[in-house]
Amino acid sequence: MKKTIYDYNFASKKVLLRVDFNVPINNGRITSDVRMQAELPTIKYLLSQQAKIIICSHLGRPDGIPNKKYSLKPVFEHLKELLPNTKIYFCPETVGENAKKMADNLKDGEILLLENLRFEKGEEENSEEMVAALSSLADIFVFDAFGTSHRKHASTYGVAKKLPSAMGLLVQKEVESFDKILASPEKPFVAILGGAKISDKIDVIKNLLSKVDTVLIGGGMCFTFLKAIKGNVGASLVDDEKLDFCYDIIKTAINKKIKIILPVDFVCSENIYDEKGAEIYKLDKIPDDKMGLDIGPKTIKLFKKHIKKARTIFWNGPMGVYEKDMFKNGTKSVAELIAKNKRCTSVVGGGDVVSAVEEFGFEENFSHISTGGGASLKLMEGKELPAISVLSDK
Ligand code: AMP
């Protein structure tokens, strides 16, 4: 078990808090502050403990070179609005003499926000100099940027080796939610997989075969499975290099008595832009010049039977091209069916499904919506996250 923020007394301590303030910014204005709002409970707890908080984050991909476009200054202005009763300072450098002086001058219950971590080359390289510079700023390290936890960067991994450390409240919720579904899932455990790229999910599928009872497969990736068992998929997306893998997965599932449920009908069109020409076809009846771009009504009915009975659900990847009105019904219906199952623990991971669930307004009905696409897939592959494994043990 890793230490949490409740395992330390932070009074008068300098705390380096690694957050994910990688917010969308347009013309110097933050267009969504969801990530900042989500971090407030950890910040407020540390403030209530009279800590001196030094916040660090990345923003965009400046690739180790300072660039005004990626400055955290707008984040600083907004943080002051979110915490009007707290004294907050901004350091125009990430590390160095000035940052050290400003950190040392902090009083209890004050905050210092450092400039973008990725303005320093040593951040992504996890260089010794960057680790030393960052860890010299504080007494304790709190890691609360789950989306970066599969990366060994100076601010995610390096500092945790130098300072006593803990998970922040956001990371704690992510870890507990995934532990719950991976270590002791209530059965039946149903995994729902979709999206376009099968290659990203190979290790997830392999690992899930030792945990779940049923796998529902939709999205573009279902066609490689269907073609592997000699289905006619018209012009749908197929990854020919993965046909053998899909065939083996189906065989393994049969041997293990795990159900793999594939779609039986589709909303098809000539391409993703041809929404007007969309028609429903059964599997094997898809014309050669049409591609499946969403699961059809019979498939939704079929998936419903399994979603209704599930006590644990993990979902990654949309059921169709949900970005287009004509092809979003499958993803929306699956989100709605999960939302209606009040007795199941439901965990969603991966950027596309998270945005779909939020767009359709079902986020309150899920047990956990993971903020880290890549990191959540790594956990589902059964792998460790370096930035979490390295944190202090209880
Ligand atoms: P991924 O990054 O692999 O999770 O894929 C997400 C993308 O898959 C989304 O942008 C969807 O538009 C796309 N997608 C979902 N279903 C299909 C499909 N049947 N054909 C092509 N692309 C799809």
The DSSP secondary structure of 146-188, one letter per residue, reads GGGTTS--IIIIIHHHHS-EEE-HHHHHHHHHHHHHHHSPPSS
For a mutational test of ligand 1's pocket, the pick from 273, 352, 353, 376, i.e. the residue with the most ligand atoms closer than 8 A to its C-beta, is: 352
Q: Please report the pLDDT score of residue 355 as a whole number.
A: 85
Name which residue sits closest to atom 12 of ligand 1, judged by CA: 321
Q: Please report the pLDDT score of residue 358 as a whole number.
A: 86
Give the burial class of 101: count Cβ atoms within 10 A of its Cβ; 0-12 exposed, 13-18 middle, 19 or more buried: exposed
With beta carbons less than 8 A apart as the criterion, state whether 184 and 159 touch.
no
pTM of the model: 0.89
With beta carbons less than 8 A apart as the criterion, state whether 220 and 193 touch.
no
The rounded distance, in Å, linking the Cα atoms of 173 and 370 is 9
For a mutational test of ligand 1's pocket, the pick from 321, 354, 377, 380, i.e. the residue with the most ligand atoms closer than 8 A to its C-beta, is: 321
Q: Please report the pLDDT score of residue 131 as a whole number.
A: 98
Under-50 pLDDT residues of the chain: none
* Ligand 1 atom nearest residue 316's Cα: 4
Q: Please report the pLDDT score of residue 374 as a whole number.
A: 87
> Cβ contacts of residue 266 below 8 Å, gap of 6+?
236, 280, 281, 283, 286, 292, 293, 294, 295, 296, 299
What type of residue sits at position 163?
Answer: L
Going from the Cα of 293 to the center of ligand 1, the distance in angstroms, rounded, reads 8
Name which residue sits closest to atom 4 of ligand 1, judged by CA: 195
Name which residue sits closest to atom 5 of ligand 1, judged by CA: 195
The DSSP H or E segment spanning 141 is strand 140-143
Phi, psi torsion values for 242, nearest 5 degrees: -105, 10
Going from the Cα of 323 to the center of ligand 1, the distance in angstroms, rounded, reads 9
Pocket (CB within 6 angstroms of ligand 1) = 195-197, 200, 219-220, 237, 292-293, 317-318, 320-321, 323, 350, 352
With beta carbons less than 8 A apart as the criterion, state whether 214 and 193 touch.
no
Q: Which residues are catalytic?
A: 35, 197, 351, 374
Going from the Cα of 119 to the center of ligand 1, the distance in angstroms, rounded, reads 33
Q: Please report the pLDDT score of residue 350 as a whole number.
A: 78
Going from the Cα of 331 to the center of ligand 1, the distance in angstroms, rounded, reads 11
Going from the Cα of 337 to the center of ligand 1, the distance in angstroms, rounded, reads 20
Q: Please report the pLDDT score of residue 351 as a whole number.
A: 73
* Ligand 1 atom nearest residue 222's Cα: 19
Name which residue sits closest to atom 18 of ligand 1, judged by CA: 220
* Ligand 1 atom nearest residue 219's Cα: 16
